[in-house]
Amino acid sequence: MTELRGLATHENLKRAFEAEAQTAHKYLYFAKIAEIEGYPDLSQLLHEMAEGGSCNAHGHLDFLRRVGDPQTDMPMGVTDSNLASAIAAEIREHNKIYPEMAEAARKEGFPDIASWFDTLAKLKQAHVERLHEAMEKVIYSSKEKDQ
């Protein structure tokens, strides 16, 4: 089989994954508003479509995992590598992506959005710690299994 990495189809899978993931979350958001406004049927429909979108996003990941995590380009597919990649992504968001976004927002005159990005940068740090703890447990239990 042709190596997927670097080809247009690889890029397309990444873009399609982003789009489906985005749609799913956007529909959940719309569903909430529809519910508040008193359109339960529409809310239900949006929920169902979000569920479908989530399934499609996973379908894209089914192929992407042949190459790696689209966010970090690290291997993924089994728990050990999934965790390692998740931690790498959270670290990057914590010390690079969100701080840069916050700075840009501040420069452009949006202190509230800057504060929002700062808040998320801190949350990502907390996530890194939680994931580290989880990874230690996973490694510990797989060692036990080996013995």
Partner 1 sequence: MSEHNSTRAAPDPIHVLHSYDASSITVLPGLEAVRKNPSMYIGSIGQEGLHHLVYEVVDNSIDESQAGFCSRIAITVGADGSCAIEDNGRGIPVGIHPEHGKPACEVVLTTLHSGGKFKKGSYQVSAGMHGVGISCVNALSEWLELEVWIDGIHYRQHYARGVPLSGVQVIGPTEKRGTLLRFLPDASIFQQARAFSYATLSKRLEELAYLHPGILITIEDQRTGRTQGFQYQSGIFGYVEHINRSRTVLHPRPIHILDSMDGVEIELAMQWTTAYADDVISFVNSINTIYGGTHVNGLKAALNRVINDYADQAGMIAAENGEKIAIFDILEGLTCVMSILMPNPQFEGQTKTRLSNRDLKKLVELVVGRHLAAAFKDDPRLAVQIVGRALEATRARQAARRAAETARFHSIDTRVTEEVYQKQFGIRSRNWHESATWITDKGLLGLHADLCKKAGNTRMLDVCCGSGVVGAAFKGRVGEMVGLDLTPQMIELAKERLDEVHQGTVYDLPYKDESFGLVVNREVLHLLPHPEKPVSEIYRVLEPGGQFIVGQIIPYGAMDAAWMFRIFKKKQPLFFNNFQEEDFRRLLQGAGFVNIQMKEYLLWESIDLWIDTHETTNLHRHEIRDLFYNAPAEARAVHPFEILPSGEIRDQWRWAVFSCFKPGEGFFQ
Is 30 an interacting residue with respect to partner 1 (CB under 8 A)?
no
Residue among 28 and 135 whose Cβ is closer to partner 1 = 28
> In 3D, which of 92, 88, 94 has the Cα closest to residue 75?
88
Q: Which is nearer to partner 1, 74 or 120 (CB)?
A: 120
- Percentages (nearest 5) of helix, strand, coil residues in the chain: 80, 0, 20
- Determine how many CB atoms are found less than 10 A away from the CB of residue 79: 12
Q: Does 103 bind partner 1 (CB under 8 A)?
A: no
Per-residue interface string for the shown chain with partner 1, residues 56-95, x marking contact by CB under 8 A: ----------------------------------------
| Cβ(120)–Cβ(93) below 8 Å | yes
Q: Is 118 in the site for partner 1 (CB under 8 A)?
A: yes
Based on the shown chain and the rule CB under 8 A, indicate whether residue 36 belongs to the binding site for partner 1.
Answer: yes
* Residue 115 binds to partner 1 (criterion: CB under 8 A): yes
Beta-carbon contacts of residue 40 (< 8 Å; ≥ 6 apart): 34
Stretch in the footprint of partner 1 (CB under 8 A) among 19-27, 59-67, 83-91, 122-130: 122-130
The residues, any chain, with a CB within 8 Å of residue 32's CB and separated by 6 or more, are 43
Half-sphere exposure (Cβ direction) of 86: Cα atoms closer than 13 Å: 17
- Residues binding partner 1 (CB under 8 A): 32-33, 36-40, 109-112, 115-116, 118-120, 122-123, 125-126
